Amino acid sequence: MTTTSFFSIAFGIGTKNNKGDWLEVYYPAPLHQPDSGLVNAITDVLGYKGGNQALDLDKDQLEPIALALDAIAPDQSDIIRSMASSMQPLVVTLLETDSALSTTPEAYLKLHLLSHRLVKPHGLDLSGIFPTLPNVAWTDQGAIDLSELQQRQTEARLNGRVLEVSCIDKFPKMTNYVVPTGVRIAHTARVRLGAYLGAGTTIMHEGFVNFNAGTMGESMIEGRVSAGVVVNSGSDLGGSASIIGTLSGGNDIVISVGEGCLIGANAGLGIPLGDRCTIEAGLYLTAGAKVSVLDSNNQFVEVVKARELAGKPDLLFIRNSQSGSIECRTNKSAIELNNELHAHN
């Protein structure tokens, strides 16, 4: 097959259950929009006929593919040759187009593309991701099908061991698959595969970042970044603060945080926030919340719903200590993050 454009190709090592169904796939070096010469070299060897496919690889296919790539992509040919020693199932996933997901290897490839920073949040078609991701037990022996877990636990006990089950989930932790450069993550289990972490990001122990969400640059995350949320560079999410995601009440509205913002401890956000905005600690700003707008002299102007202030810069949201109403004032002291704190070389 001859092609001029292709969305993504990756060679992976994965885990199947006893029925032969894929549970998870690790892609050492996924390719996004690969060169047409590389695509043709791979597809010609595989006899690929088109469409999005996840093809099981036999070890006797590895050397012909590696030979075809030696002069084009030696780094990929090295990875393919190393797979010859694998005791695990191998797969090559070919995504001709960015379209709805239909297999587990396809879903894992797109999650890898996000965490490798090859595609930004909301840059992929992730429809169908929940049906294609099986709910599995993540253990110190890898992914295990839930229907096979008791047998594996019994086998471990009979051999004087304990099978450690860290969680039951569709999504694994990111760092078992991808560790992006220039980040610090205090508790790795709180960042899911498919998170996008920009260089200079610090995720503290209680910070959480979901898939298809993340930070675009230097940021301090001590709260929760839900699915679909984008936090721009220079912003600080305080302890136990929370941002409504596209799967938790935000519907189709993309909730984002602008540059140089501060969301205080235990605060919350339900609207897109403009640059250099601050939400005081403990204040949860939902889209329908009534906000009293004050001018630069702190004089009352009008009452609006918070959604009408979405995306506007240089705003300070506080709660009036006497009336209890939410007020919006001009933010005269935008935050500035400590550069030394976010230089994770």
What's the pLDDT tens digit per position in 199-241?
999 999 999 999 999 999 999 999 999 999 999 999 999 999 9
Phi, psi (degrees; rounded to nearest 5) at 200: 95, 0
Q: How confident is the model at residue 254 (pLDDT cuts 50, 70, 90)?
A: confident
Please, what is the average pLDDT of the chain?
94
Residue bearing the bigger pLDDT, 336 or 272: 272
- Catalytic residue (choose from 218, 222, 259, 327): 222
Residue 2 confidence (pLDDT): 57
- Residues 269/243, Cβ–Cβ less than 8 Å: yes
Q: How confident is the model at residue 340 (pLDDT cuts 50, 70, 90)?
A: very low
CATH architecture of residue range(s) 174-342: 3 Solenoid (2.160)
- What angle do the packed helices 59-69 and 36-46 form, to 10 degrees? 150
* 317 alpha-carbon distance from chain centroid: 29
- Could you report how far apart the first and last alpha carbons of the chain are, in Å? 43
Residue 118 has pLDDT above 90, yes or no: yes
Phi, psi (degrees; rounded to nearest 5) at 143: -80, 135
CA torsion angle 120 122 123 129 (round to 10): 110
pLDDT digits (tens, 9 = 90+) for 142-199: 999 999 999 999 999 999 999 999 999 999 999 999 999 999 999 999 999 999 999 9
Tell which CATH classification among 3.30.1490.100, 3.40.109.10, 3.30.70.2010, 3.40.50.2300 matches the domain 8-131.
3.30.70.2010
pLDDT digits (tens, 9 = 90+) for 318-329: 999 999 999 999
What's this model's pTM, rounded to 2 decimal places? 0.94
**DSSP bridge pairs for 139:** 142, 165
User: In the annotation, is 280 catalytic?
Assistant: no
Q: How confident is the model at residue 332 (pLDDT cuts 50, 70, 90)?
A: confident
Residue 341 confidence (pLDDT): 45
* For the chain, percent of residues with pLDDT exceeding 70: 93
Residue 260 has pLDDT above 90, yes or no: yes
Residue 227 confidence (pLDDT): 95
pLDDT digits (tens, 9 = 90+) for 32-55: 999 999 999 999 999 999 999 999
Domain boundaries, the chain: 8-131, 138-169, 174-342
Residue 250 confidence (pLDDT): 46
* For the chain, percent of residues with pLDDT exceeding 90: 90
